[in-house]
């Protein structure tokens, strides 16, 4: 895997009780494919879909030389598929201001970061905000989250 780029996709959804669930998909870039295209392909979202947000939310480096680009997809276009409940909104943090990469990052950390990123975009990006506001349950749940944009590596 040395020098490889993986595209990680987290289709995410929330129920009426405010419980967030996500699925974890990983794909590689196809020939002549951008990371955005790979994320849409992996999630089953068409480029012209105006009701689903596909957003690059973070990246991280793995010691094997692999770069992981993470995309959040909201709302999950296939909400009937099994998903993992997000139990903690704990963010991964580095040990200091000049050491931003956390020692350990799990998928809940990445999903929590992605949700905070979407909450920020709901208020600050008119195009993404309009798409998210189209799902009242998603918009209401995102409004309750911190508007803090924190980078998870």
User: Angle at which helices 136-143 and 126-133 pack, to 10 degrees?
Assistant: 120
Among 1-10, 21-30, 48-57, the least confident range: 1-10
Instruction: Please report, in angstroms and rounded to a whole number, the separation of the first and last CA atoms in the chain.
Output: 19
pLDDT digits (tens, 9 = 90+) for 71-80: 999 999 999 9
What is the per-residue pLDDT for 36?
96
88-115 pLDDT tens trace: 877 777 777 877 777 777 899 999 999 9
18-51 pLDDT tens trace: 999 999 999 998 889 999 999 999 999 999 999 9
Confidence class of residue 146 from pLDDT cuts 50, 70 and 90? Answer: low
| % pLDDT > 90, the chain | 63
- What is d(CA 106, CA 78) in angstroms, rounded to the nearest whole number? 23
Cβ atoms 152, 91 nearer than 8 A: yes
Q: Which of 113, 117, 89 lies closest to 100, judged by CA? A: 113
Q: Residue ranges per domain, the chain?
A: 5-143
Closest CA to 71 of 108, 110, 33, 116: 110
């Amino acid at each position: 895997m040395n020098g490889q780029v993986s595209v990680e996709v987290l289709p995410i959804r929330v129920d009426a009780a405010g419980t967030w669930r996500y699925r974890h998909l990983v794909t590689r870039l196809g020939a002549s494919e951008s990371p955005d295209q790979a994320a849409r392909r992996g999630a089953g979202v068409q480029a012209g879909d105006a009701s689903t947000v596909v957003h690059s939310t973070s990246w991280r480096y793995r010691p094997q030389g692999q770069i992981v680009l993470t995309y959040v997809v909201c709302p999950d276009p296939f909400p009937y598929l099994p998903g993992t409940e997000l139990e903690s909104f704990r963010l991964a943090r580095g040990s200091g201001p000049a050491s931003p990469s956390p020692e350990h990052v799990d998928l809940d950390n990445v999903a929590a970061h992605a949700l905070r990123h979407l909450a920020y975009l709901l208020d600050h990006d008119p195009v993404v905000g309009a798409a998210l506001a189209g799902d009242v349950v998603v918009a209401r749940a995102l409004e309750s989250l911190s508007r803090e944009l924190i980078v998870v590596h």
